[in-house]
Amino acid sequence: MGRLFLMHLEGNVYSCKHCKTHLGLAGDIISKAFHCKHGKAYLFNKVFLQLANVPLIMSVMSSVNVTNGVKEDRLMMTGMHTVSDIFCVGCGSIVGWKYEAAHEKSQRYKEGKFILERYKVSGPDGSSYWATHDAHLGGSDADDV
Ligand SMILES: [Zn+2]
């Protein structure tokens, strides 16, 4: 298997906990107030995303260390959303999801934005986050404060 070309980011980088592929920049975080079933999740304006069906040379422009999964509707605390899982291109693990569409008008600001699950990534200082007991109270893919 060939080695994929991976974007290397400078600055405060969130990277895959497993393979250290850079996934997002701290400066692109919109909100840290999101939750998923495993605990905290951050909403990013953009992450480094590789669309599976787009040539790499093009996808570098929208930048690119994550691949997109299948779109599906998910009922979250804030209503129905169309989302797709996003995967680290380095190791293939799910690192979060992308909001393709929000069915509630008040949630439309999330469309085209990305969630990285905090426990899946290492922070800028190399810190890891581990799910805590209270993180499991929500039980499902809750995405809200
Ligand atoms: Zn990885």
At 20-36, the pLDDT tens digits run 888 888 999 999 999 88
User: Distance from the CA of 109 to the center of ligand 1, in angstroms?
Assistant: 28
User: Distance from the CA of 32 to the center of ligand 1, in angstroms?
Assistant: 21
User: Distance from the CA of 105 to the center of ligand 1, in angstroms?
Assistant: 34
Bigger pLDDT: 126 vs 81: 81
User: Distance from the CA of 12 to the center of ligand 1, in angstroms?
Assistant: 17
Structural contact between residues 135 and 118, judged by C-beta atoms closer than 8 angstroms: no
pLDDT tens-digit map of 88-98: 888 888 899 99
User: Distance from the CA of 106 to the center of ligand 1, in angstroms?
Assistant: 33
pLDDT tens-digit map of 13-72: 899 999 888 888 899 999 999 988 888 999 999 887 544 444 444 444 444 456 667 789
Structural domains for the chain: 13-122 (2.170.150.20)
Amino acid 92: pLDDT: 83
For tokens 């929500």, the residue is: 138
For tokens 């996808």, the residue is: 59
Confidence band of 128 (pLDDT split at 50, 70, 90): low
User: Distance from the CA of 121 to the center of ligand 1, in angstroms?
Assistant: 9
User: Distance from the CA of 137 to the center of ligand 1, in angstroms?
Assistant: 27
User: Distance from the CA of 88 to the center of ligand 1, in angstroms?
Assistant: 5
User: Distance from the CA of 30 to the center of ligand 1, in angstroms?
Assistant: 22
Distance CA 50, CA 56 (A): 7
Query: What's the chain's average pLDDT?
Result: 76
CA dihedral 109, 91, 15, 51 (to 10 degrees): -40
